[in-house]
């Protein structure tokens, strides 16, 4: 099948080169993300701050396989196909053109789908995912212009040199970049100490009247500061729930509201509702319900969640209008700021704050190491 008319050899050569270099960029992004996903190392995210949020979401894997691994396979396959096309230009050129077009089409669809997921479901962006999406899109567009001309025999060696020099340069430059990005980060499960004039105590992090789960005497206390309308908090919810289910008899868990009304319209109202649920002994249950239904946090929705938890509707409505409930969530926000909290979710591990959103494996390693002490 012919998608475009045959294009000149010189243009086809440059199309191949651009595809080669674009594949190497995509391969670098996938390699870096694969390492961070498999090791749990914090991700250097650049101008956006959603890399850890995306990694913590349920969309980070496909059938149990980290999605960056699929990216490695995709870009690696494109590179192999380009080498074959260069080395054996007369071997079924139309077949290889169609294979390239089909492969890049699937890469384009997958990366586009993930970008939409980040936009509308996770509501956070990963710089490296976006870079990979741009690379996949460019490859798909270039595949239309690949052509079916045979590479002249006298140019094969030259173009093979271009391919292998490009790959060698990518290994050197990419290796150095990975070293800079990952130095002191791989195995980065260890939390960093809070900066400031004094180290906070657990009493500062976890007030005496804040509900918790797990044994009071545990050597491990985990407190999550969250905003009920924060997409990162919802993305992290499955990981935290899994950890809670596994360690509920050995670890003390708590959640503390940290409202962000400047970026989330329903944040304060939802925080007040959580405080009202606390007064009725349903604080943790209400937080779970609100996070799972994060897209619906109007007052009517909040009252509905309270009723589902068998909270008295009249008392709950009265509490929502009680100024002292609003004062409490504002005070919790100020208390969090005094501890250095400026975003959600922020996780305290005993009296230390984690430098990012941990994966399940990272969290598990932290807890197990501390319980052994």
Give the domains, in start order, of the chain with CATH numbers: 9-182 (1.20.1440.130), 202-372 (3.40.30.10)
Per-residue pLDDT, 147: 62
pLDDT band of 30, cuts 50, 70, 90:
very high
pLDDT at 2 over 50: no
The more confident residue out of 161 and 195 is 161
For residue range 138-160, list pLDDT tens digits in order. 999 999 887 656 667 778 888 88
Q: What is the mean predicted confidence (pLDDT) over 163-174?
A: 95
Half-sphere exposure of 264 (CA within 13 A, CB side): 25
Whole-model pTM: value is 0.65
Per-residue pLDDT, 140: 96
Nearest by Cα to 314 from 276, 363, 362: 276
**Whole-number average pLDDT of the chain:** 86
DSSP state of 192: B
For residue range 237-285, list pLDDT tens digits in order. 888 999 999 999 999 999 999 999 988 899 999 999 999 999 999 999 9
At 45 the three-state DSSP class reads coil
User: Is the preceding peptide bond at 231 cis, omega within 30 degrees of 0?
Assistant: no
Q: Cβ distance 229 to 345 under 8 Å?
A: no
Signed CA dihedral, 343, 225, 360, 108: sign only: negative
Per-residue pLDDT, 5: 46
For residue range 54-78, list pLDDT tens digits in order. 887 778 888 888 899 999 999 999 9
The more confident residue out of 300 and 38 is 300
Percent of the chain having pLDDT more than 70? 91
At 310 the three-state DSSP class reads coil
């Amino acid at each position: 099948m012919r998608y475009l008319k045959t294009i000149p050899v010189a243009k086809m050569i440059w199309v191949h080169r651009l595809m080669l270099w674009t594949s190497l960029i995509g391969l670098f992004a996938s390699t870096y993300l694969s390492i961070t996903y498999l090791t749990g190392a914090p991700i250097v995210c650049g101008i956006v701050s959603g890399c850890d949020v995306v990694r913590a979401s349920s969309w980070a894997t496909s059938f149990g396989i980290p999605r960056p691994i699929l990216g490695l396979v995709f870009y690696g396959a494109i590179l192999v196909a380009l080498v074959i096309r260069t080395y054996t230009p007369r071997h079924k050129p139309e077949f290889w053109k169609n294979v390239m077009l089909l492969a890049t089409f699937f890469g384009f669809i997958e990366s586009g789908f993930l970008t939409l997921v980040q936009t509308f479901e996770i509501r956070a962006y990963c710089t490296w995912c976006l870079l990979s999406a741009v690379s996949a899109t460019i490859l798909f567009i270039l595949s239309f212009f690949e052509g079916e001309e045979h590479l002249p025999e006298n140019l094969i060696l030259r173009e093979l040199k271009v391919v292998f020099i490009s790959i060698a340069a990518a290994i050197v430059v990419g290796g150095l970049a990975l070293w800079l990005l990952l130095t002191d980060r791989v195995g980065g499960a260890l939390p960093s100490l809070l900066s400031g004039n004094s180290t906070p105590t657990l009493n500062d992090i976890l007030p005496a009247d804040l509900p918790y789960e797990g044994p009071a005497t545990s050597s491990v206390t985990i407190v999550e500061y969250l905003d009920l309308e924060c997409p990162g908090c919802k993305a992290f919810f499955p990981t935290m729930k899994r950890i809670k289910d596994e360690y509920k008899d050995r670890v003390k868990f708590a959640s503390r509201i940290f409202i962000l009304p400047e970026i989330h319209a329903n944040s304060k109202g939802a925080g007040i509702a959580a405080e009202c649920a606390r007064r009725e002994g349903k604080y943790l249950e209400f937080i779970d319900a609100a996070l799972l239904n994060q897209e619906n946090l109007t007052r009517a929705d909040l009252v509905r969640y309270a009723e589902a938890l068998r909270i008295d509707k009249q008392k709950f409505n009265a509490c929502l209008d009680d100024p002292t409930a609003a004062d409490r969530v504002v005070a919790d926000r100020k208390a969090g700021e005094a501890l250095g909290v400026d975003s959600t979710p922020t996780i305290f591990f005993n009296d230390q704050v984690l430098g990012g959103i941990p994966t399940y494996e990272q969290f598990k390693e932290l807890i197990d190491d501390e319980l052994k002490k």
